[in-house]
Amino acid sequence: MPGLLLGDVFPNFEAETTNGQIKFHDFLGDSWGILFSHPRDYTPVCTTELGRAAKLSGEFSRRNVKMIALSIDSLEDHRGWTKDILAYNNEESGCEFPFPIIADSQRELAVALGMLDPDEKDKEGMPLTARCVFVIGQDKKLKLSLLYPATTGRNFDEILRVVDSLQLTAKNRVATPADWQPGERVMVPPNIPEEEAAAMFPAGIYSKELPSGRKYLRYTPQP
């Protein structure tokens, strides 16, 4: 994603959404944020993705995360399509869609954020948006970015797990190992000396014995 690196302040763009005009940093307020793009409205994989995102919106909200989606379709299309998404989720007619969708019909935001997929084009030959995910922290800085092709739907349970890890490690000097789930033990970073680590983690530290003799696999209960 050209020009946008982890730790960069995320652009404070203005955009038209299904919930009205927004300025991104004002929209986020003191919350974390997730901005994710999809190729087109009224398409099968995108419908399943936004359906799952809508199902999990309460979980994201409980973690103080605001969600917002984006594609190059119009507001009218977005509003019509959300009814299909809610029907896919077997929600009752008249339910409100839980997060806004940005209308980026001129592709200005998609270009600025490096969201376009050169291999996926519309009938006019113009590139569509790829399946991007940006996680933004309360400091308005980019904490994580993912980029999927149009043919592969995203796992929003994994994105929720990633948010749990990002929020935990933002508050505590720990790291989360492969396949970590909330409540499981975490890892003590190797740059923390043993004496400091012992004081920092009173619940105890377990070191895995390794052939190298180096004690870099150190675990502690989740703070």
Q: Catalytic residues, which ones?
A: 46
Cα 139 to Cα 136: distance, rounded to the nearest angstrom: 8
Q: How many CB atoms lie within 10 A of CB 113?
A: 23
Q: Which amino acid is at 111?
A: V
Q: Which helix (H) or strand (E) holds 33?
A: strand 32-37
Dihedrals phi, psi of 60, to nearest 5 degrees: -65, -40
Would you call 170 helix, strand, or coil by DSSP? helix
Amino acid 8 reads D
Partners of 136 in beta bridges: 33, 142
Contact 40/51 with Cβ under 8 angstroms? Answer: no
Q: Which residues pair with 14 in a beta bridge?
A: 23
Query: What are φ and ψ of residue 221, in 5° steps?
Result: -60, 150
Q: Which helix (H) or strand (E) holds 55?
A: helix 44-55
Residue keyed to tokens 């994580």: 144
**Residue 206 to residues 46, 107, 192, 210, Cα–Cα distance (Å):** 44, 51, 14, 13
Tell me if residue 65 falls in helix, strand or coil.
Answer: strand
